[in-house]
Chain A
Amino acid sequence: GQQVMQIPQYQHVQEGEDFTTYCNSSTTLSNIQWYKQRPGGHPVFLIQLVKSGEVKKQKRLTFQFGEAKKNSSLHITATQTTDVGTYFCAGRVYNFNKFYFGSGTKLNVKP
């Protein structure tokens, strides 16, 4: 079945270091969304990518959508303790009104 794979599962970084999480789909996606879930909280929408090769930035966060629309990445520059949480990608397949979530990458930032 349709799957969205996400790596790594965990990432521990020192504050100030960079962080990247990757998502790969077995099928071409119509769009991909990224969410952040703080410990004990619920997922909160960060951004959506729709176009092939699209790159979007939110302050220290950079989101990319691959040319083939099968992979995506989230890169955080100079992490801060406020970045702690689990980051999920969610890909939508054409003609389906549901999203397939990756397993998430749990980020821990040491001060």
Chain B
Amino acid sequence: DGGITQSPKYLFRKEGQNVTLSCEQNLNHDAMYWYRQDPGQGLRLIYYSQIVNDFQKGDIAEGYSVSREKKESFPLTVTSAQKNPTAFYLCASSRMGDSNQPQHFGDGTRLSIL
């Protein structure tokens, strides 16, 4: 089945530690996105990428980093500089070329601080 796979489902971070969240898609989508969702709130854009080897900061990029070495993969690293990392992280992808494409979301990763 085509879709987006996020792993792990749950992740715990110690103080001063960097952690990486995985996002893989087999939909052949060019664009990929990372969002953060806090309880009772909407989705805030962290980073997005429209093409391999290129990405742009979203609205809350500080304390996060990404890479896009392959079309299928868009990992997100939550660095120790992110002081409040506890949240639900959602990865999404969409086609490019036509701006009216819906975003397909993964099942998310819940990150907590130990």
Contacts and interface: CB of A to CB of B under 8 A. Distances in A.
Given A90-B43, A97-B50, A104-B41, 7 more contacts: A30-B99, A41-B107, A42-B108, A97-B96, A98-B56, A100-B45, A106-B40
B90 A31 contact: no
A97 B59 contact: no
Contacts, number: 54
A6 B106 contact: no
Contacts of B31: 97
Nearest to B31: A97
Interface residues of A, number: 25
A31 B100 contact: yes
A41 to B, nearest CB: 8
B27 to A, nearest CB: 13
A43 B33 CA distance: 13
B42 A6 contact: yes
The 10 closest A-B pairs by CB, nearest first: A45-B102, A103-B42, A42-B105, A101-B43, A101-B42, A104-B42, A43-B105, A42-B107, A42-B108, A102-B42
